[in-house]
Amino acid sequence: MTETVSLSGVELRRHADPTYPVTDSEFEPYAHQQELRDLFTTRESFLAVNDSPTGGGKTLSWLAPVVESGEHTIAVYPTNALIHDQERNIRSELTEKFPDATVGDDIQLLTVTADTLRTEHAEAFPNATSNGARLRRLLREEVYYGDTQVVLLTNPDIFVMMRRGLYGRPGNPGSRVRALNEFKTIVIDEFHRAGRKEQNTLLFLLDEMYDLPEYQCALSRIVLLSATPTAWLAERFGNAMSPPYFRVTDRREDTEQRPFEDQPTGGWGAVMPPVDLEVRSASTFGTATELLEADWEETKEFASRPGKTVFILDGVREVEDVYTRLDNALDGQEVVRIDGFHRGDLESKLARFDVLVSNSAVEVGIDFTVDRLVFSAPDRASFLQRLGRLRTTTDRQPARCYVPPTVTATLNDRSRSRSLTRRELTGVLGEAYHNPRDRESFDWRYSAAEAYHHLRRRARDANPELAEKIRTQGWARITSHFAPESGLTRTDLERYIDPIEDAVEDTLKWYRGDSLQALVYDSTSDGREAVRAYDLFYLLRHGDVQFYPRSVFEQVVPEKHHTAIVNSAPYVSGFCTYNGTIPPNKDGYGRDVVLEATPEIYRWLKTEEDRTARTPRVIDSLSVDVRVETGSRRIGSLDNLRDRMDDLALLAYVVDDNPNAVKNQYDLGPFFFLYGLSTADGLRSIALGTDALYLHCAVQDEAESVDLEQFGVDI
């Protein structure tokens, strides 16, 4: 059964403000832009959250006061693709609204990713032999010795590694990226998209930097661009963080933003249109099946209408299936695809398409016209982000979403009597979606241990007096951030420090943790797209791939890409060529992939037989097996991958049951990354990287709740 939910549009009040620091005399800012600018001009320090709607000018809200201040600023974006998109956006904003601030002469935009460090920045500093050395040279010349304002665009991984000194040489604190401490403002975009572990990591490090004396670190202004903060985040901002907390939409929230049904009011700007949203059910990675089978005639008719239709799906396999079918069926229409393997010719595709089929690659950052939208939504954040792509007109627009049945039921129940405002929709989705990685116990179990390890590393590099100060202040920060009411002790931390101690230097030093990836050469792509790291399990399930030893891989790949291989090799588990996807089997699935227990894992399971006593640990090797039906396309080069996987440093946690049973028992949901582990005693489950820590928390939470129930404690 299909229900249509009527969603109101969103409009923001415009304000005549001749003092607002843009050259365009006719520009009228929104209240959130004025409020954030007021903070910059009236307060030396603050933590500001701007949760204004998508399309409401959040980038300009920080860019205008930053340009006005002339101070060095870091802007942190969740993905490298978004960094490059926002670099173009910021350059355009500067050219249009700040013509007196010339990029290059008055403002220097620096894009720093692992890719730019090993390409353009490597060319600028040919004597620097590592990414860390290039980054130190770049910022020393542009920040310490340059005479222009610097806006640094980077990702959370690089920011965290700079702060933790992981770009420096071990035992030599002087080699750290000291120029990081020269930036007065930091902007974190899409903060709500980060998981609990990532949010904890960022907030702790930002708070620590803010509290340092100004001569050690200039950071005093923190801006988070986000959705409306959850209750626990708002409490963290107000009670745990040292800078004064402001939500810039709060003071005038009821008078500056409102819903509209038909056309926006004069003097107001429409930032999100009204939408007629058809809500349909689909299983995990099952949206393509619904679109191409039961709903095919409707899908074709929807995409055939005049204007531009966008499909945003979850998996690359789904993108390929829907793109291929629509491309064959729609005569006279330009059907294009954009995903991890097809980002080339991006601007041309966005300019010419009639139908765009994509995945998260177009969720944020990229601007394009949309007249109607079809999307799947595995979680609340994806739902709101993908729906937010409809913002290029004030007229009511049609959309279809495919969501889990529980979400369908919740939306239908809450929307039958009247239209929903966007705020109401956000609340309903919060009730409907479950996030298995959003566990309060993760804070005091593992975020506290991660922060404690960071403090010990800082203290190790300091003189005795400073080391004692780091330990004392750091412990107070740990308890205020992660255990304000639990009475956490150092003894408690020792229960969880072992996995962090072993993992954080190697496998968890990145902001997001770790994963299994292969370095892929796609001969159909060019430039940056030709050689890139990609999820190993997707490649094994769906890819037409051939694995090689590294030495042979370098012979297969053109020499112009060898620098990318050298820089990426330490972080991948294999090397392969990619020639598209294989046909699915009769049930619509790809290959069946399982991990196989190694002698090391058997020894681990023998010493820790009880799942509640077992803890995550770093393992040195894994083996993989790919099972295919008769006649399906096999991978004849798996031994080359297995050889590479004999030398890993990967955090893992094993539970003694198959993945479906474990997901059901601990309510992990379909998008929790849990893999089958084949052992002599049958199929078990293994979680890797940060997910190993989340799964361990789930197991411990259930065990402790059972213990409390036995003692008659009401939980």
What would the pLDDT profile of 286-325 be if each residue is shown by its tens digit? Answer: 899 999 999 999 999 999 999 999 999 988 889 999 999 9
Instruction: Answer whether residue 540 is part of any domain.
Output: no
Work out the pLDDT band at 708, boundaries 50, 70, 90. Answer: very low
Question: What residue type is assigned to position 701 of the chain?
Answer: D
Number of domains within the chain: 4
Verify that 109 and 230 share a domain, yes or no: yes
DSSP β-ladder status, 531-535 and 257-260: unpaired
**In angstroms, rounded to a whole number, what is the distance separating the alpha carbons of residues 427 and 626?**
42
Residue spans of alpha helices (H) in 461-574: 464-482, 490-503, 536-542, 550-556, 562-568
Q: What integer pLDDT is reported at residue 48 of this predicted model?
A: 97
Position of tokens 């820590």? 693
Residue 22 lies in a domain: no
pLDDT tens sequence across 648-694 = 778 899 999 999 999 999 999 877 889 999 999 999 999 998 899 99
Quote the CA–CA distance of 307 and 312 in Å, as a whole number: 17
195: left (phi over 0), alpha (psi -120 to 50) or beta: beta
Mean pLDDT of 247-261: 86
Q: Is 604 in contact with 620 (CB distance < 8 Å)?
A: no
If you search the block for the tokens 């239209």, which residue do you land on? 419
User: How far apart are alpha carbons 234 and 228 in whole angstroms?
Assistant: 9
pLDDT at 709: 45
Residues 33, 145 within the same domain: yes
Tokens of 24: 């365009």
pLDDT band at 511 (very low <50, low <70, confident <90, very high): very low
Contact assessment for residue 399 and residue 375, using Cβ atoms and an 8 Å cutoff: yes
DSSP, residue by residue, 254-321: HHHEEEESSSPPTTEEEEE--EEEEEEE--TT-HHHHHHTTTHHHHHHHHHSSS-EEEE-S-HHHHHH
- Within a domain: 560: no
Percent of the chain having pLDDT more than 90?
A: 50
Two structure tokens written together for 682: 């049958």
Distances (CA, A) of 109 to 73, 86, 90: 10, 11, 9
Would you state the pLDDT for residue 512? 42
Q: Which domain does 414 fall in, by range?
A: 267-421
Confidence class of residue 363 from pLDDT cuts 50, 70 and 90?
confident
Given a cut of 80, whether residue 501 has pLDDT beyond it is no
- Residue predicted with more confidence, 482 or 611: 482
* Mean per-residue pLDDT, 385-392: 86
49: pLDDT strictly greater than 50 = yes
Same domain, residue pair 291 and 201: no
Instruction: Band the pLDDT of 422: cuts 50, 70, 90.
Output: confident
In a domain, 610, yes or no: yes
Same domain, 277 and 243: no
Of the ranges 34-43, 171-180, 450-459, which is most confident?
34-43
680 and 632 belong to one structural domain: yes
Distance CA 679, CA 335 (A): 46
The predicted pLDDT at position 712 comes to: 45
Task: Give mean pLDDT, residues 189-211.
Answer: 93
Domain assignment present for residue 571? The answer is no
Do 176 and 317 belong together in one domain? no
Rounded distance, CA 90 to CA 400, Å? 32
Q: What is the DSSP letter of 559?
A: G
Tell me 637's DSSP state: T
pLDDT at 225 over 60: yes
Q: Which of 421, 452, 486 is the last residue of a domain?
A: 421
pLDDT value at residue 710: 45
CATH number for the domain that contains residue 104: 3.40.50.300
Which among 476, 492, 489, 511 is positioned nearest to 240, based on CA atoms?
A: 476
pLDDT at 711 exceeding the cut of 80: no
Residue 88 has pLDDT above 60, yes or no: yes
Residues 707 and 595 in one domain: yes
* pLDDT tens for each residue of 332-342: 899 999 988 88
Q: What is the helix (H) or strand (E) element at residue 372, kind and residue range?
A: strand 372-376
Q: What is the DSSP letter of 504?
A: T
Half-sphere exposure of 232 (CA within 13 A, CB side): 15
Contact present, 111 and 153 (Cβ < 8 Å): yes
Query: pLDDT value at position 714?
Result: 46
Residue 323 near residue 337 (C-beta atoms within 8 A): yes
SS3 at position 626: strand
Question: 564 falls in which pLDDT band (50, 70, 90)?
Answer: confident
Compute φ and ψ for 371, nearest 5 degrees: -105, -30
Q: Encode 317-345: b = buried (16+ Cβ within 10 Å), e = exposed.
A: bbbbbbbebbeeebeeeebbbbbbbbbbe
pLDDT of residue 514: 56
Domain boundary among 482, 503, 524: 503
As a whole number, mean pLDDT of residues 457-467 equals 88
Residues 6+ apart with CB under 8 A from 635: 540, 545, 546, 547, 591, 626
d(CA 20, CA 38): 10
Question: Do residues 366 and 491 both lie within one domain?
Answer: no
Same domain, 120 and 88: yes
Question: Is the pLDDT reported for residue 630 higher than 60?
Answer: no
CB 402 within 8 A of CB 290: yes
Structural domain includes residue 7:
no
Question: Domain for residue 121, yes or no?
Answer: yes
Q: pTM for the full model?
A: 0.90
Is residue 465, in this structure, part of any structural domain at all?
yes
What pLDDT score was predicted for residue 706? 58
pLDDT-wise least confident of 112-121, 170-179, 382-391, 508-517:
508-517
Among 421, 454, 487, the domain boundary falls at 421
- Sorted by sequence, the CB contacts under 8 Å of residue 181 that are 6+ apart come out as 209, 212, 216, 217, 218, 219
Shared-domain flag, residues 250 and 272: no
Same domain, 319 and 355: yes
Give yes or no: residues 209 and 324 share one domain: no
CB 390 within 8 A of CB 275: yes
What whole-number distance in Å separates Cα of residue 685 and Cα of residue 664? 12
Give me the chain's average pLDDT, please: 87
